[in-house]
Structures are given as C-alpha cells and as structure tokens.
C-alpha cells in the first residue's frame, strides 16, 4: 500500500520542460537511457559503499549533462562529487533520489525560449513561467538545504555531549563528597587490629575478641565441625549459642549490639546494631 501511495504521489509531481537544440534531438533518447543506467549503478555502488564508482559516474554526469543541454545533470554530478569529498553519504543518497525524480519528470522540447536566472543572471531556457532560477542555482539551493540539515544534526549532537559531560561531572563530584564524608569512618574501620565483619560500627577491644572467636567458629563450620565450649564470650565467659549451622554470641547486648553471629552460609561475622 505504501509503495502504491508513493507511486501516486510521484505522478502528481510537476513535469519539467528541458529544451535542447534541434540538431541533437535524435541523440536524446539514448542519452537519457544511459543516465537511467548511471542512476541504477549509483544506487548499487552506494549500497556497497563503493565510493570510487560513485565518483566515476558523477564525473561522467558532470561532463555530459551540459553537452546535451541538461545543465541540471551536470550540477547533480558536481554536487555528488562534492558530497563524496566531504564523506557525506547522507547527502549523496539525497542527491541520487533528487536526480531520479528529475529524470522521471522531464519533458524534452526543442529550444525556443530563453530566460534570465533571478539569482545569477545567466541565460537558461524554459517555457514554465514559474521557474525563476537556472538549473545550477536550483541544485545549489538544494545543497544549502542539505547543509543546514547537517548543521542542525551536528548542533544536536554537540548539545547532547555537553549535557552528558555535565551529568558525569555532577555524579563524580557527588561521589567525591560522599567519599570525603565517609573517609574517617572507613579509615577507623580499617585500622590495624580491627577484625573484618559485616557492619561498620565502632567496637571495643572485647567485642573485637568476640568477633575473632566467631572467625574461628566460621572456620570450624566450613570443615563441618561443631565448636566446643572452649570458645566463650570474653565479656561473660558464656559459651556461644549453636542453632543448626548458626553460632551467635550469647550476650550481644553487652557489646552494644542486637546480634553478633556467624553461620556456614554467612562466613563473615555479622554485627547488627
């Protein structure tokens, strides 16, 4: 359905009168047939990324168009070459589509009417009163539209990069602030002699001994051994509570904690405030 709509829309486009000298009129059918071949080869080369072939065809268009009275074809060839030099594949694709539309909408007529381009002042031929610009100026106008479109894209990309850089800077700054605030606590918790455990709380010497005992119990649990009563809490001398595979301090409140325990699954002693 979409293809049919495109076809109908194409039929509605205005025809373009091209005036050529009477002497070369017999050569025009073959000339246009060759340009259609060029158009097909341009599409194939663009799909393959074959820039050298595109450049060769564009050069041929540039040289042959004006010879047969098709200045617009000459300008299309020149514009495609320029876009290719700038590695602007999007512009090349647009110009190929515009060339196709041009070739599909031209009516060949014998030269009879000359007009003055309102932009450059050059003489060109056209019976269409609505056409005020010569083919060269029309193509240049198309190129400017493409350039403005590309500039807008680049500005959008630049703005996005700026926003991302700003967000990244803010996140890095926030991380540094958090690190600075937490640094004293981190340093305190990593002082020599402080046993590793889950929970960054300040603990006294006897609590640290209790945690070291739990580390020893954790080792026994990993070996599938049950701790005996030789290991006791240094505060009360009471043995540790054993429940299945979890062993806990019998009196965590004496350490200022709600719980202090270790298990076979949780190998690191955990202190719960």
Q: Of the spans 74-78, 166-170, 185-189, which averages the highest pLDDT? A: 74-78
First to last CA, the chain: 70
Query: Residue 69: left if φ>0, alpha if ψ -120 to 50, beta else—which one?
Result: left
Q: Please give the Cα distance from 66 to 70 (Å, whole number).
A: 5
Query: Is 189 part of a structural domain of the chain?
Result: no
Instruction: Evaluate whether 215 touches 270 at the Cβ level (below 8 Å).
Output: no
pLDDT of residue 115: 67
Taking alpha carbons only, the member of 79, 56, 54, 75 closest to residue 66 is 75
On the question of pLDDT at 19 being above 50, the answer is: yes
- Shared domain for 151 and 211, answered yes or no, is no
123 in the same domain as 13: yes
Same domain, 27 and 141: yes
Question: What is the pLDDT at residue 125?
Answer: 66
CATH number at residue 34: 1.20.120.160
User: Does the global pTM surpass 0.95?
Assistant: no
Quote the mean pLDDT of the chain.
82
> What percentage of the chain carries pLDDT values higher than 70?
85
Q: pLDDT at residue 36 above 80?
A: yes
Phi–psi pair at 117, nearest 5 degrees:
-65, 130
Residue 185, in any domain of the structure: no
21 and 117: one domain? yes
Domain shared by 136 and 63, yes or no = yes
Domain end residue (candidates: 114, 134, 155): 155
Find the angle CA(210)-CA(215)-CA(217) to the nearest 5 degrees: 95
- Residue 245: CA count within 13 A, CB half-sphere: 10
Residue 194 lies in a domain: no
pLDDT (average), residues 239-263? 90
If asked whether residues 131 and 217 sit together in one domain, one would say no
Please tell me which residue, 233 or 196, carries the higher pLDDT value. Answer: 233
pLDDT given for residue 193 in this prediction: 56
**Could you tell me whether strands 246-248 and 16-20 are parallel, antiparallel, or unpaired per DSSP bridges?**
unpaired
Is 184 contained in some domain? no
pLDDT at 127: 58
Report pLDDT for 170: 85
Model confidence at 183, in pLDDT bands (50, 70, 90)? low
Residue 65 confidence (pLDDT) above 60: yes
Residue 251's pLDDT band, with cuts at 50, 70 and 90, is very high
End of a domain among 139, 155, 171?
A: 155
Burial of 229 from C-beta contacts in 10 A (0-12 / 13-18 / 19+): exposed
Cα(59)–Cα(36) distance, rounded to whole angstroms? 15
- Please state the domain count of the chain: 2
80 with 214, same domain: the answer is no
* Residue at 239 is within a domain: yes
71-118 pLDDT per residue, tens: 899 999 999 999 999 999 999 999 999 999 999 998 888 765 566 677
Over residues 228-241, the pLDDT tens digits come to 888 899 989 999 99
Q: Are residues 247 and 145 in the same domain?
A: no
**Opening angle at CA 251, ends 245 and 256, nearest 5:** 115
CA distances from 233 to 82, 267, 269 (A): 85, 19, 14
* CA dihedral over 176, 181, 186, 187, signed as positive or negative: positive
Dist. CA 270–CA 265, nearest whole Å: 12
218: nearest Cα among 175, 266, 252: 266
> Is 200 within the bounds of a domain?
no
Asked if residues 208 and 195 have their Cβ atoms less than 8 Å apart, the reply is yes
**Confidence (pLDDT) at 200:** 65
Q: Tokens 């909408």 label which residue?
A: 105
Question: Do 135 and 19 belong together in one domain?
Answer: yes
30 in the same domain as 128: yes
Residues 136 and 42 in one domain: yes
Q: Domain span at residue 36?
A: 2-155
Domain boundary among 97, 131, 155: 155
> Is residue 161 in some structural domain?
no
Report how far residue 85's alpha carbon sits from residue 93's, in angstroms, rounded to the nearest whole number: 14
Asked whether residue 84 falls in the same domain as residue 151, the answer is yes
Q: Is residue 178 part of a domain?
A: no
Specify the pLDDT at position 8.
44
DSSP label at residue 195 = P
Rounded to the nearest 5°, which phi and psi values hold at 14? -70, 140
């Amino acid at each position: 359905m979409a293809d049919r709509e495109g076809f109908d829309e194409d039929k509605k486009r205005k025809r373009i009168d091209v005036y050529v000298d009477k002497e070369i009129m017999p050569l025009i059918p073959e000339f246009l047939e060759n340009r259609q071949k060029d158009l097909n080869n341009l599409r194939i080369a663009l799909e393959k990324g074959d820039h050298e072939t595109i450049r060769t065809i564009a050069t041929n268009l540039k040289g042959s168009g004006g010879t047969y009275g098709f200045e617009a074809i000459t300008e299309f060839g020149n514009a495609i070459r320029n876009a290719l030099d700038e590695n602007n594949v999007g512009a090349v694709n647009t110009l190929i589509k515009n060339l196709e539309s041009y070739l599909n909408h031209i009516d060949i007529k014998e030269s009879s009417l000359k007009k003055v381009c309102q932009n450059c002042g050059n003489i060109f031929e056209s019976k269409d009163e609505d056409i005020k610009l010569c083919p060269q100026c029309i193509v240049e106008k198309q190129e400017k539209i493409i350039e403005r479109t590309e500039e807008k894209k680049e500005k959008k990309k630049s703005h996005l990069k700026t926003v991302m850089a700003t967000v990244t800077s803010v996140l890095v700054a926030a991380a540094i602030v958090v690190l600075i605030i937490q640094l004293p606590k981190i340093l305190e918790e990593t002082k020599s002699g402080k046993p590793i455990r889950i929970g960054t709380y300040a603990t006294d010497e006897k609590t640290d001994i209790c945690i070291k005992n739990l580390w020893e119990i954790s080792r026994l649990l990993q070996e599938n051994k049950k701790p005996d009563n030789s290991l006791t809490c240094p505060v009360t001398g009471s043995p540790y509570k054993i429940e299945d595979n979890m062993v806990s301090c019998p009196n965590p409140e004496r350490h200022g904690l709600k719980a202090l325990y270790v298990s076979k699954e949780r190998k690191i002693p955990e202190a719960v405030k």
